[in-house]
Amino acid sequence: MQLLEKIQSKDAVIGIVGLGYVGLPLMLAFSAKGYHSVGFDIDQSKVDSIKAGESYIDHIDSAPLGTGVSNGLIDATTDFSRIAEVDAIIMCVPTPLDEHLEPDLSYVTNTMDAVAPYLRSGQVVSLESTTYPGTTEEELKPRIEAQGLTVGTDVFLVYSPEREDPGNPEFSSKNIPKVVGGTTPACAEVGKALYEAAIASVVPVSSTQVAEFTKLLENIYRAVNIGLVNELKIAADKMGIDIWEVINAAATKPFGFKAFYPGPGLGGHCIPIDPFYLTWKAREYGVHTRFIELAGQINRSMPQYVVRATSDALNRRKKAVNGSKILLMGLAYKEDVDDMRESPAFELMDLLKEQGAEVDYYDPHLPVITPTREHAEWTGTQSIEWNEQAIRGYDAVLISTHHKAFDLQQLVDWADIIVDTRNALAKSGIEPKDGQLTKA
């Protein structure tokens, strides 16, 4: 097969559609193996940054990007007609939920509609976006075949879910095992060869539906266990028990237990969203996934719990949320990254503002809030400057993300009230003042 030969000889050109937290690392993984890659995105600023060899994602170094550009292995464009130039089209676009917590596949379908007119025989199309079982064959296959191309003979269609963990120094696109399912056996063979070219380990499965379900299982596993520990945290707080100490003690068991930790709510593009893709699809088969939906309800309620804890902490100082100045430390959804997708910090800011608080944030990884789909009103808001005068001016400081860049000793020295949702002070070995700390 000519396409397999091109992949194996490194003559295949790899097209990456969507140059965000998934697409950019994948492009770097292929270029590191000597493949020419063309990135496609509707955001001209991302295209310009790539052409200049400059990373726009905090945890991704510019050096390998610059090397790939200077070597002629990396290019980027907003011109989708150039799809005809590439041999592989890997789609890495968002799959959010709508206001009813139902799948919004518009990014996938709109992207496929933009790509389809330029498809040709001898290409492989891979979808990496997390979605419900059946999406690849129900949404992508008809659009490809509407161009007069036969899937499995002319164009090879696969699904391979992204498994990025932004900021994780141990795992990256290159060494995280890659699950791949094909629409036909020939599709599976091509998909396996494609990812083996850049990824250390490839895990073939029998169909695109299995691969799609695999990704959902991974994220539902985490969402349900986080929901469990969030519920236990509320119970432990009522009993005057430190849930963090309980988890650390339980984690000493060498078998049968994996530690999950509570927080102010779920963040990132996967864990808060993906479970609802399965609950929606399951209803088509008459299945009500009560366990998954309950975990989702608990996790989505955590920002309200944190705000109540903040209100209680202020009340103990004879203050109200209304009229108080409150600072959130950490806008990103997880530590040491600049990724604010679905961050619970936005919900916390919204809730506090609704109750009359004056809300600011501090995050050295995110100096300004860029446009988001759900929280447009915060666009352009800037991180405060960290200094003693500023911190002493707040009635309460809420740790919503535990970045290593934070000086928590200065926080203890300067702040009146600290609401710690991440057990950050204890993990850092810093003792708060009497009555200063509220864990939430």
The residues that are catalytic are 270
Residue position matching structure tokens 């202020």: 314
Among residues 165, 172, 179, which one has the least CA distance to residue 136? 179
SS3 readout for the chain: CHHHHHHHCCCCEEEEECCCCCHHHHHHHHHHCCCEEEEECCCHHHHHHHHCCCCCCCCCCHHHHHHHHHCCCEEEECCHHHHHHCCEEEECCCCCECCCCCECCHHHHHHHHHHHHHCCCCEEEEECCCCCCCHHHHHHHHHHHCCCCCECCCEEEEECCCCCCCCCCCCCCCCCCEEEEECCHHHHHHHHHHHHCCCCCEEEECCHHHHHHHHHHHHHHHHHHHHHHHHHHHHHHHHCCCHHHHHHHHCCCCCCCCCCCCCCCCCCCCCCCHHHHHHHHHHCCCCCCHHHHHHHHHHHHHHHHHHHHHHHHHHCCCCCCCCCEEEEECCCCCCCCCCCCCCHHHHHHHHHHHCCCEEEEECCCCCECCCCCCCHHHCCCECCCCCHHHHHCCCEEEECCCCCCCCHHHHHHHCCCEEECCCHHHHCCCCCCCCCEEEC
